[in-house]
Structure 1
């Protein structure tokens, strides 16, 4: 019989160990998924790549596997052992990072980045589902905050650690058999990840709760449940996908803008970009998780999403960071954009675990990642390259990035307002 009760309350400290292991996995995944962006100028020079080719390697390589595999992975997460799925996906993004280090051409590099992307985002689906069953609904903002901290540390490591590795190879060209700095950076990162994934084998599968139908219900019933919640899910997806477009474009193109507009190399900005990414991502995840928990206590319908609406509004002016007149102004605006994106991501994750039944969560997260990957990663980077081309060429990259960021941030603000008005009462309640 379906379990329609909420996850039993238990001391939050009992969940800390598994949550920290999940956070470590997300740290590794997002560091490896975004590592190439920090050193892509080196690959561009070695392989003779254009900005458009880079945008495909960075964007489409993440979008294509997300579109193809995110929903199947989500269904597997809903129906099978999530810990085993998590281990397989972490091994996938580690393998992708190894392949990045030794790719012999743009096509192999494309495949390598695909593996890093699908492994990381698929692991995120499993991690969010596991988090939901490790804690009661009222604790999920804090639980997802811990996993969000791992994600933020990973994004920071993509700049800081990879930039540090890059500097080592520049100063010591004979390291690892004379690998190019961008290649050597990925080889070291993959070696670290191979060792750091071992704690995952200590995880145990938790019991599932808040099941409205059944984790093995016929697919037609699952689809009907999902369709019944479309009034809430569609604007929620649009809001967060738009945020991801702005953040993905900004993260991917930030390093090239710093190199071209301010003549900085990875080792020059790694020292401040990494802490900026970590502080902004951590603050956003913290405020997002806490605001979601507080929002659940308000009497207002959809109050959980208030923090996402405020963050989306802040993201509109912050998206102008590429055209900042100085490096400090660039850093402040970029950090604000990352903070806002991290905050909306935390709130959206909590919303999916609170408002959606257990048997739909993996599918919803997978569908969300598929749409986010296809549009956010697949469309945003090439769109920036196309807009900069319309403005006059690759030298107008900063302007193209600013236009795309502001437009997508405005769309996200409107969509989150609509989602809040259509939020359901609970995970197992019949859709309104």
Structure 2
């Protein structure tokens, strides 16, 4: 089951990364600005966040297997449809619909993992299915550029990506779900909660985790959307080489960060739930100066930029192995799908949806302020914009995790008392 969740998560991030890799040909064909490119990502992210909440409630009330399988099939079909769009408006519309399908995955998957593994193993298990994130990015960054060059069309990659999703969706339809709360020491009440959102809002840890998610998503979505254009404009690489460099510093670091991060976080959680969250806080904090330092590297040294940025981007993946299990640590099993959906919705709406438009708008503004050629101004604007947005987002993320670490032990104990009272 964990392998299928990994595969679904891989396809989730592969599909959503394709537009970021083919930014320049899309921009050229449809005559778009960087701000409009950012809006394409924002449109997907807003719908992804908003629909995550009702789909999270659906995962708590009905078959998580069905939510996962149907959602994956829908977004795979819409990935193929993206290859047929004829303009900016239709591209945005299809990405909006695709966001609905992808929103089904994380809440249901996180709820399943929490029932499959006890608390002291959840970070490692979370790290394993979340490995789909960097693996999906690796495959996207290493293959989409080559597919685009081979077919001389940015549309080809969308068609190639659709088929595997339909296969995995079919396999997910046959998994056997664990009982809700199966991994908890205390018995779990099965009755529905009358006011689930109000109950979740009382958990202070979730408020801090949302702040961490906002910062993390601002940085992550800005990086994912504009890294390949940065290499093409500032470092003067081709699309395929720029995508490969971006894959190394964004995706390969995730393979290491999530694998080691899960082990480190679970080991720290054996002392207290706060230990796991603190590992994420220190990891994200360490990423701030290192990613900022990368933007000092000269434009004729792209390899050095990749090395320095990778050193900073790797520890920020500890955010996932700290924040995601922390949601399960402080929320009772019958609300975990909803809790994850609310957490992701707030993170994406206030973070992921704003990161690319802010970075794009700043890029356009900085470019317009320079008396340079069009290409040189575009390179200058994007480089300066990312140098500001990425470290700032990571700093907000670290602050949120440090705040969550102060509350998580107390909220964990309250949740356990509630479970014992339900016996």
Asked if these proteins are the same fold (TM beyond 0.5), I'd say yes
The 3 A distance-change label for structure 1 pair 250 and 342 is same
Asked if the contact 1:212/1:357 (under 8 Å) is kept, the reply is: no
Partner SS for 2:86: coil
- 1:398-417 Cα shifts (integer Å, max 9, x gaps): 10111111222222222211
- Identify the residue that residue 225 of structure 1 maps to in structure 2: 199
Distance 1:418 1:359 in 2: 25
Map Cα deviations across residues 353-410 of structure 1 (whole Å, 9 max, x no partner). Answer: 2222112211111111211221222111111122234434344111011111122222
User: 1 CA distance for matches of 2:26 and 2:224?
Assistant: 17
For 1:307 and 1:328, the matched residues in 2 are separated by 29
Residue 39 of structure 2, aligned match among 40, 52, 56: 56
Q: Which residue number corresponds to residue 279 of structure 2?
A: 307
8 Å Cα contact 1:357-1:428 kept in structure 2 = yes
Distance 1:27 1:67 in 2: 19
Give me the TM-score of the superposition, normalised by structure 2: 0.88
Contact 1:52–1:382 at 8 Å: present in 2 too?
Answer: yes
Contact 1:89 1:122 in 2 (8 A): yes
Q: How does 1:165-180 map to 2 (within 5 A)?
A: 165-170=147-152
Change (3 A) 1:388 1:147: same
Aligned to 2:267: 294
1:88 to 1:337, Cα distance in 2 relative to 1, 3 A: farther
* Structure-1 residue corresponding to 2:92: 110
Cross-structure match for 1:30: 13
Q: Per-residue displacement from partner, 1:63-88 (whole Å, max 9, x unpaired)?
A: 32134211111111111100100011
Q: CA RMSD in A?
A: 2.1
Query: Residue 375 of structure 1: SS of its match in structure 2?
Result: helix
What are the Cα deviations for residues 288-313 of structure 1, in whole angstroms up to 9, with x where unaligned? Answer: 21122112211x56112121111111
Which of 363, 366, 388 is residue 338 of structure 2 equivalent to?
363
Q: Give the superposition deviation at 1:336.
A: 3.4
The 8 Å contact of residues 79 and 216 in structure 1, kept in 2 or not, is answered as no
How many Å separate the matches in 2 of 1:388 and 1:192?
36
Q: CA, structure 1 residues 350+218, in 2 after alignment: closer, same or farther (shift >3 Å)?
A: closer
> Which of 152, 164, 174 is equivalent to 1:202?
174
Q: In 1, distance between residues paired with 2:62 and 2:270?
A: 33
Gaps of 5+ in 1: 1-17, 171-180
State whether residues 220 and 352 of structure 2, in contact with CA within 8 Å, keep that contact through their aligned partners in structure 1.
Answer: no
Q: Deviations over 1:202-231 (max 9, x none)?
A: 3122111148874542432x23431321x2
Aligned to 1:268: 241
Gaps of 5+ in 2: 369-377, 419-423
Alpha-carbon separation, structure 2, partners of 1:88 and 1:40: 29
Query: Is the contact made by 2:127 and 2:320 (CA closer than 8 Å) also made in structure 1?
Result: no
Maintained 8 Å contact 1:319/1:409: no
Counterparts of 2:414 and 2:17 in 1: how far apart (Å)? 33
Q: Is the 8 A contact 1:323 1:399 kept in 2?
A: no
Which residue pairs with 2:24 in the alignment? 41
Q: How does 1:183-202 map to 2 (within 5 A)?
A: 183-202=155-174
Q: CA shift at 1:275, angstroms?
A: 4.5
- What is the TM-score with the length of structure 1 in the denominator? 0.87
**Does structure 2 retain, via aligned residues, the 8 Å contact 1:242–1:409?**
yes
Asked whether the 8 Å contact 2:281–2:401 carries over to 1, the reply is yes
Q: Does 1:429 align with 2:416?
A: yes
User: What CA distance in whole angstroms lies between the structure 2 residues aligned with 1:334 and 1:113?
Assistant: 29
- For residues 392 and 47 of structure 1, the distance between their equivalents in structure 2, rounded to whole angstroms, comes to 20
Give the 3 Å change call, closer, same or farther, for CA 64–301 of structure 1 in structure 2: closer
Asked if 1:259 is matched to 2:232, the reply is: yes
The corresponding residue for 2:393 is 408
Q: Which residue of 1 aligns with 2:73?
A: 91
Conserved? CA contact 1:26–1:151, under 8 Å = yes
Mapped to 2, the partners of 1:152 and 1:426 lie a distance apart of 33
- Mapping for residues 374-393 of structure 1, pairs under 5 Å: 374-393=349-368
Structure 1 moving runs of 4+ over 6 Å: none
**Aligned to 1:77, which of 59, 78, 86?**
59
* Secondary structure of 2:268's aligned partner: helix
Q: Is the 8 A contact 1:31 1:155 kept in 2?
A: yes
Q: Measure, in 1, the Cα distance between the counterparts of 2:386 and 2:356.
A: 9
Q: Structure 1 residues 215 and 38, CA, compared in 2 at 3 Å: closer, same or farther?
A: farther
